[in-house]
Amino acid sequence: MKNLKVLLLTSIIVFLLAGASYAADNAHRIYGKITTVDGDVFEGLIRWDKNEASWVDMLDGTKDIPRKNRKKSKSYKNRSRRDGIEIFGVRIGSNSTYFSGGAQSGIRFGHIESFEVIGDNEILVKLKSGEEVELSNGSTDIGTDIREIIIEDLHEGEIELEWDDLETVEFFAARSNEKSALGERLYGTLTTRRGDEYTGVIGWDFDEALTNDILNGEHKNRSKKIKFKRIKAIERYSSNGAVVFLEGGKEMVLRGTNDVDDSNRGIVISNFEIGEILVEWDEFDKLVFEEIPSNSFSYNDFDGGKRLEGTVYTEDGDSYTGFIRWDNDEEYSWELLDGNYHNVKFQIEFSKIKEIRKKSYRSSIVTIHNGESFRLRGSNDVDEDNKGIFIIDKNGDEVEIEWDEFDRVEFK
C-alpha cells in the first residue's frame, strides 16, 4: 500500500510538471482575444502576418510625428545637398521626414495591451503604460496587404481572418496549456560569414516562423518540402544553394527557391536583449536550431515603455539632463534605433540601450545593458543625417544638440 501511495504521488507530480511545461511553452507566444466587426470573439494563440508569433516580434508601421516637432531643426540648416530645392513653395528632393509628418516605426507585441482598427490601414494602439499611438501601414503588418492572421481558438480550433474582419485585438498572457497545431516557435543561433553570432526566435525568409512551416527546395531534380521541425541546421552553400541538415544525420543541398538562395528576403532574429536583427543571404553562414528556453521571456517582461530620459554630453563638455527626443522622432523606450553593423541590419529597442557615443560623422558606438557594443552606420539615427537631439529639462525648457556638437548620451 505504501508503494502504491508513493507511485500515485509520483504520477501526480509528473502530471503537474508536464502541465507546467506546456504552459511555459506558451509563455513566449502571442496570445489574445480578437473581436470581429460581426461581433464574433475568438481567443487563443495568434500568428500575425506569417512571421510574428512571439512577444519579442515587431509590429511594424508608420507613426505620425506631432506637428510641433515637424519644424526644421538646426541640424538641417544650410545643408542644401540634403534639402533639395524649393519650387513655388514646395520642397523637392528632401531626405528629411519633417515634411511628410510620418516616420517608420515598430513596437514589440509584448508592449501592447490592445489595438483598435480605425481605418483601412490604420490602428490605434494602447500600450501597457496607458499611452496611445496611431500606426498606419508601413509594412504588411497593418492594413489590407496583411498576408495572414491566424488565431487558434480554444473551442473552434484554427481560424484564419482578414483585415476587414477585425474590430479590436486584446493581448494578455497565455491562459491555455494547449500546444499549437502550427508547431513551436523557430529558435536558434545564427552565425554570419564574419563569425558574429545572434540567438533568438527566427523568421526565415520573412515567412516561416513555426516548426510545422515548410522549407522548399530542389534536390537531384526533385522537389522537396521539408517541415522545419525535421531540420537541425541550415548552412549557406553558395549564392544559389544551401546545405540542410536533418534529424538522424542526413544532409542534402537544396536549390531553386527563395528559401535556399540569394533571393531569400532575409533571416530575422528577434532577440530579447537587443531587438530585431536582419541578416541577408550574402552575410548568412549557418543557422543551428534549438528548443526555445522555457524561461526566455513572457508577456510580463514588457512594460509598455516610458519616455526616454538621460544625460546628453557635448564635445565642448556641456551636459543636459531630462527627457530626450532622439533624431526628433523617437521619444519612448519602446521605439527603435536603426543602423547597420557588419552589413547586418539592427533595430535596437531604446529600453535596451545604455549609451550612444558618436564615433565619427558616419557612425556611432551603441552599448546595450548586457555590455555588448556595436558600431552602427547607415542610418540617420547614428550619423550626421541625425535630425537633432532634443532635451527637455525639469523646467520644461527645450535644448537642441546638433550632431556636430554631440558627444554621447547616457540613458537613465
* 400 within domain boundaries: yes
| Residue numbers of the domain that contains 36 | 31-67+75-171
> pLDDT tens digits for 138-160?
789 999 999 999 999 999 999 99
The residue type of 172 is F
Check if the beta carbon of residue 111 is closer than 8 Å to that of residue 127.
Answer: yes
What pLDDT does 127 receive? 98
What pLDDT does 175 receive? 80
Mean pLDDT computed over 126-131: 97
Which has more pLDDT, 68 or 166?
A: 166
What pLDDT does 177 receive? 74
Mean pLDDT computed over 69-80: 53
Same domain, 337 and 242: no
Same domain, 138 and 38: yes
Same domain, 285 and 314: no
Last residue in a domain, options 263, 298, 333: 298
Same domain, 275 and 195: yes
Same domain, 224 and 329: no
What pLDDT does 73 receive? 55
Same domain, 239 and 270: yes
What pLDDT does 204 receive? 98
* 58 within domain boundaries: yes
Which has more pLDDT, 177 or 318?
A: 318
> pLDDT tens digits for 167-224?
999 999 988 777 899 999 999 999 999 999 999 999 999 999 999 999 999 999 999 9
> pLDDT tens digits for 111-121?
999 999 999 99
What pLDDT does 87 receive? 37
Kindly provide the b/e burial profile for residues 206-217, where b requires at least 16 CB atoms within 10 angstroms of the residue's own CB.
Answer: bbbbbbebebbb
* 46 within domain boundaries: yes
**Residue 24: enclosing H or E segment and its boundaries?**
helix 2-26
Same domain, 318 and 340: yes
Same domain, 167 and 191: no
* 18 within domain boundaries: no
Total domains in the chain come to 3
Same domain, 35 and 167: yes
pTM equals: 0.87
What pLDDT does 179 receive? 83
* 12 within domain boundaries: no
What pLDDT does 85 receive? 41
Task: State yes or no: pLDDT of 100 exceeds 90.
Answer: no
Task: State yes or no: pLDDT of 102 exceeds 50.
Answer: yes
Same domain, 355 and 395: yes
Round the average pLDDT of the chain to a whole number and report it.
89
Check if the beta carbon of residue 144 is closer than 8 Å to that of residue 121.
Answer: yes
What pLDDT band is residue 12 in, cutting at 50, 70 and 90? Answer: very low
Q: 295-298: long-range contacts (C-beta < 8 A, 24 or more apart)?
A: 295/24, 296/28, 296/187, 296/272, 297/27, 297/28, 297/54, 297/55, 297/56, 297/110, 297/272, 298/27, 298/28, 298/55, 298/173
> pLDDT tens digits for 330-377?
999 999 999 999 999 999 999 999 999 999 999 999 999 999 999 999
> pLDDT tens digits for 259-285?
999 999 999 999 999 999 999 999 999
What pLDDT band is residue 26 in, cutting at 50, 70 and 90? Answer: confident
Q: What 3-state class would DSSP assign to 189?
A: strand
Same domain, 229 and 268: yes
Task: State yes or no: pLDDT of 76 exceeds 60.
Answer: no
Mean pLDDT computed over 382-399: 97
Same domain, 279 and 198: yes
* 313 within domain boundaries: yes
* 179 within domain boundaries: no
Last residue in a domain, options 298, 332, 348: 298
What pLDDT does 74 receive? 58
What pLDDT band is residue 412 in, cutting at 50, 70 and 90? Answer: very high
Task: State yes or no: pLDDT of 70 exceeds 80.
Answer: no
Q: How far apart are CA 227 and CA 239, in angstroms?
A: 23
Task: State yes or no: pLDDT of 89 exceeds 70.
Answer: no
* 20 within domain boundaries: no
Last residue in a domain, options 260, 281, 298: 298
